Amino acid sequence: MTAGGRVAVVTGGGAGIGRAIAERLADDGFKVAVIDIDAAATDDTASSIGKAGGTARAYRADVSDRGQVDSALAAIRTDLGPVAVVVANAAIARQQPFLDMTAEQWDRTLAINLTGTFNVVQSALSDLVGAGWGRVVLISSSSAQRGAPRMAHYAASKGGQMGLAKALAVEFAKAGVTVNTVAPSSIDTPSVRKKRETGAIPSAEEMAKFIPVGRTGTGEDIAAAVSYLVSDEASYVTGQTVSVNGGSFIG
Ligand SMILES: NC(=O)c1ccc[n+]([C@@H]2O[C@H](COP(=O)([O-])OP(=O)(O)OC[C@H]3O[C@@H](n4cnc5c(N)ncnc54)[C@H](O)[C@@H]3O)[C@@H](O)[C@H]2O)c1
């Protein structure tokens, strides 16, 4: 692995899976730019990476707002240098029965999860193409592979990321840029734990009974897959979905 001080942008890096990815890429030797809508959480991730001996900077931005994304990317280039790796992880995952779903709820989920991905990838991509080397990883979801009740907007946005990754993978293959998705399932993060507390989803113990490896996943499980996909060794892997799901939903 040769991160060699390359710059990696991680969106939604203030919490959960995004934070684990930011920490892992810093451990791998990347200079990490953490983007999140939650300024305090972003600062906390960056300062904890700094205390652990890594390099990270925090940038507050709403990924659905192109102006905020472009400003964050401009600041990142000034502070850390050109971007080499983009991990689009920021998302919302609301539950709403389809027949009650409003157009506003649909639009907001698509705006953050899919257009937010478009915004950050398009804003950064000229750096990757200019260097002749780059890695893009989109954090999708198993819900796009097998559906999820009361989450039609979310599943559609996550399926959109998979199509986007495939299109970009072929468009930029000759430019030395790979584009892949990671599809997590049942990952124990603070937002998932909050949903469990309200009874919106089953307990970790209950879920583990239906996961072949017998446990729910961690942010570190996802970060390990991302670490491989952004490495030099992964140059022949593009347009793929890596499903990190404990053996669930095979087929
Ligand atoms: N946790 C799971 O079981 C699971 C399963 C499948 C897929 N995923 C995917 O993994 C990713 C991370 O999930 P998580 O559980 O860590 O989520 P989370 O809710 O714990 O964290 C998401 C982060 O994104 C940030 N964010 C939200 N909206 C934003 C916006 N508009 N602009 C910038 N930042 C914003 C939040 O502030 C938060 O820090 C998401 O893409 C999610 O769809 C998670």
Q: Would you say residue 200 lies in a domain?
A: no
Q: What's the CA-to-centroid distance between 158 and ligand 1, angstroms?
A: 12
Residues of the chain with pLDDT under 70: 1-2, 250-251
Q: Which residue has the tokens 């993060």?
A: 189
59 is catalytic: no
- The ligand 1 atom at the shortest distance from the C-alpha of residue 142 is 6
Residue-level pLDDT at 199: 87
> Does 242 sit in the ligand 1 pocket, CB within 6 Å?
no
Residue-level pLDDT at 135: 98
First CA to last CA across the chain, in angstroms? 31
Residues linked to residue 217 through DSSP beta bridges, in sequence order: 187
Q: Would you say residue 233 lies in a domain?
A: yes
Residue pair 151/95 in contact by the 8 Å Cβ criterion: yes
Q: Would you say residue 38 lies in a domain?
A: yes
Q: Would you say residue 152 lies in a domain?
A: yes
Q: Mind giving me the DSSP string for 128-164? A: HHHHT-EEEEEE--THHHH--TT-HHHHHHHHHHHHH
Spell out where the chain has E strands.
Answer: 7-11, 31-36, 55-60, 83-88, 134-139, 177-184, 241-244
Q: Would you say residue 2 lies in a domain?
A: no
Best mutation site among 36, 142, 220, 249 for ligand 1, i.e. most ligand atoms within 8 A of its Cβ? 36
The number of distinct structural domains making up the chain is: 1
> Does 42 sit in the ligand 1 pocket, CB within 6 Å?
no
**50 vs 5, 38, 46, 220, 232, CA distance in Å?**
14, 19, 6, 18, 25
> Does 62 sit in the ligand 1 pocket, CB within 6 Å?
yes
Residue-level pLDDT at 2: 60
- Which structural domain range is residue 152 located in? 7-184+222-244
Q: Would you say residue 209 lies in a domain?
A: no
Residue-level pLDDT at 1: 44
Does this model's pTM top 0.75?
yes
Q: Would you say residue 249 lies in a domain?
A: no
Residue-level pLDDT at 4: 83
Residue 13 belongs to a domain with what CATH number? 3.40.50.720
Best mutation site among 9, 10, 11, 17 for ligand 1, i.e. most ligand atoms within 8 A of its Cβ? 17
